[in-house]
Structure 1
Amino acid sequence: MQALIGTGVALVTPFKVDFSVDTEALKRIVNFSIDGGIEYLVVMGTTAENATLSSNEKELVIKTVIEVNDNRLPLVLGVGGNNTMEIIEELKTRDLSAFVAILSVSPYYNKPTQEGIYQHFKAIAEASPIPVVLYNVPGRTGSNMLPSTVLRLANDFKNVVGIKEAAGDIVQAMQLLKNKPSDFLVISGDDMIALPMVLAGGAGVISVIGQGFPKEFSEMIRLGLNRKVDEAFKYQYLLSDSIDMIFEQGNPAGIKQVFLSQGISENVVRLPLVKVDDSLAERLDLFVKKINTLA
């Protein structure tokens, strides 16, 4: 899965001020990311606010991204949830021909045991016609997929090709990196520790900030993959304040404010999320201006 080495971005779903999906802004975001040098696009992740999208809106977003991408970059589709049978049904009925892999989050709210998590992904691996990337994000799901469970899945199923590891725990990430099969990808799901994970042997990142500053962030990851450590950390320290800020009041409210500051889309999110307050909006706007002066 060389296609998933480097920087992928978890695309937002931009909305108009009336809260409808803004397909023109979505096209601008996709092109901005591609022009900035990122390696692949992730559609319908958490950052897309997919929990608040209707079925028709999800189809509209997927169709728009496929069309504007026009086979330029590999695409990954978020197909996950806490109802295993529903996911399997989607895998059986959805046309996945445009995608190189699915990204599937560990079940949330149910809080299954490690054996339950294993059986959930076993069923998905057996049903999926394309490779599966696991997604561990305990801050959202309420449970941590332990390295032992991840490695069990990686060893048992050839089509389980990687994990987006977003526990925010570099020690846990290093346990995966130390013990994983040689071709299994450990992908950071945490922008702040993406570079340290790459330097420890990770394959890259699925990023939020990467779509706001694609040129700088993707170059940082490429430098890390090429072991150019000092050069990579210059970008890390340049961007670190923005990474903190975009998550300060929730994702994707922060990154949508960045897009507003860049003139790409509105800063509209759907309830129960709310847009960032005036103080954070001002700080993000100043950061965007700072980056633009350095470009």
Structure 2
Amino acid sequence: MQSLIGTGVALVTPFKKDFSVDTEALTRIVNFQIDNGIDYLVVLGTTAENATLSQDEKEVVIKTVIEANNSRLPLVLGIGGNNTHEVVTELKTRDLSKFVAVLSVSPYYNKPTQEGIYRHFEAIANASPLPIILYNVPGRTSSNILPSTVIRLANDFKNIVAIKEAAGDIVQAMKLIQNKPDGFHVISGDDMITLPMVLAGGSGVISVIGEGFPRQFSDMVRLGLQRKVDEAYKLHYLLAESIDMIFEQGNPAGIKEVHKTLGLSENTVRLPLVNVDENLAKRLSDFTKKL
């Protein structure tokens, strides 16, 4: 899975002012990523507001990204949830021929034990025709996939090939990197600690800020992978303020404000999310224009 090394971005779903899916804007966003050095694209992750999309809208998003990408970059599809049977059914029935892997979030709200998390992903591994990227994001799911569970899954199922690690804990990430089997990828899910994770032995990132500033962020990751530490940290500190800002009032409201400034899409989000306030919108716009 060399295609998972480097910078992936979790694509937003752009909406028109009437809250309908804006396929033209999504096409622009995909081309913007490709033109500026992103390595792969993640479709229907949490940044896509997929919890608010109907099944028909999800199909539109998938079709639009596949057509806009035109086989230029590897594609990863988000298929996850807290109903194991439903996730397994989708894996068995969806056409996954245009994707290289699936990204599957740990069950949210249910708060399963580590054994419950293991069995959830065991069922997914047994059903999936594609390699699986685990997604650990305790801030959203209210449960943490412990390193011991990740390593157990990685050793037991050869099609579990990576984890998007977004606990925001560099020590936990280092334990994963230290104990992972050969060929297993530890991918940052936290933009602010991406570079330290890469320098510790991680494979890259699935990013949000990279979707707004793809050239600078993907260059930072490449420099980190090449162990060009000083040059990489210059880019990290150039972007650090913007990373804080895009998450200050929720994701993807922040990155959509950047896209509005760049002329890629409207900044529309669906309830229960709301737009960033005027103060943050101005700060994001000023930073984007300055950069």
TM-score, length of structure 2 as denominator length: 1.00
* Structure 2 partner of 1:84: 84
Point out 4+ residue stretches in structure 1 off by more than 3 angstroms: none
Amino acid at match of 1:174: M
Partner of 1:159 in structure 2?
Answer: 159
What is aligned with 1:256?
Answer: 256
Q: What is residue 200 of structure 1 aligned with on the other side? A: 200
- What letter corresponds to residue 221 of structure 1 in structure 2? V
- Aligned identity (percent) is 78
| Structure 1 residue aligned with 2:273 | 273
Structure 1 residue 63: deviation in Å?
A: 0.3
In structure 1, the partner of 2:215 is 215
What code does the residue aligned with 1:14 have? P
Question: Who is 2:137 aligned against?
Answer: 137
How far off is 1:171 after superposition? 0.2
Aligned equivalents of 1:36, 1:56: Cα separation in 2: 30
Determine the C-alpha separation between the residues in 2 that align with 1:210 and 1:116. Answer: 33
The CA deviation string for residues 159-189 of structure 1, in whole angstroms up to 9 with x for no partner, is 0000000000000000000000010000000
Determine helix, strand or coil for the equivalent of 1:86: helix
Residues in 2 aligned to 1:72 and 1:100: alpha-carbon distance in whole angstroms: 13
Amino acid at match of 1:209: I
Paired position in structure 2 for 1:122: 122
Distance (whole Å) between structure 1 residues aligned to residue 234 and residue 24 of structure 2 = 34
| Residue number in structure 2 paired with 1:245 | 245
User: Helix, strand or coil: the match of 2:9?
Assistant: strand
Name the SS of the counterpart of 1:162 in structure 2: strand
* Whole-angstrom distance in 2 between the partners of 1:132 and 1:140: 20
Cα distance in 2 for residues equivalent to 1:271 and 1:60: 20
2:232 maps to what in 1? 232
User: What is the rounded CA distance, in whole Å, between the counterparts of 1:6 and 1:243 in structure 2?
Assistant: 18
State the match for 2:112 in structure 1: 112
In 1, Cα distance between the equivalents of 2:72 and 2:32? 13
Alpha-carbon distance between aligned partners in 1 of 2:228 and 2:176, rounded to the nearest angstrom: 23
Letter in 1 for 2:277: D
- 1:180-220 CA deviation, whole Å, 9 max, x = no partner? 00100000000000000000000000000101000000000
- AA aligned opposite 1:283: R
**CA distance in structure 1 between the aligned counterparts of 2:267 and 2:68, rounded to whole angstroms:** 22
Aligned position for 1:50: 50
Residue deviations 1:252-284 (CA, integer Å, cap 9, x gap): 000000000111100000000000000000000
Residues matched between the structures, number? 291
Name the CA distance, whole Å, in 2 between partners of 1:245 and 1:189: 17
Read off the aligned partner of 2:5 and give its amino acid letter.
I
CA RMSD between the two structures:
0.3
Distance 2:182 2:245 in 1: 35
The separation in 2 between residues aligned to 1:67 and 1:263, in whole angstroms, is 21
- Distance of 2:97 and 2:264 partners within structure 1: 29
Partner residue in 1 for 2:286:
286
Q: Which amino acid aligns with 1:63?
A: K
Q: Which whole-Å CA distance do the structure 2 matches of 1:258 and 1:219 have between them? A: 19
Distance 1:239 1:61 in 2: 29
Q: Is 2:27 the counterpart of 1:4? A: no
SS at structure 2 position matched to 1:135: strand
Q: Residue 152 of structure 2: SS of its match in structure 1?
A: helix
1:35 paired residue number: 35
Question: Which ranges in structure 1 are unaligned for 5 or more consecutive residues?
Answer: none
For 1:10, the aligned partner's letter is A
Letter in 2 for 1:42: V
2:161 alignment partner, SS class: strand
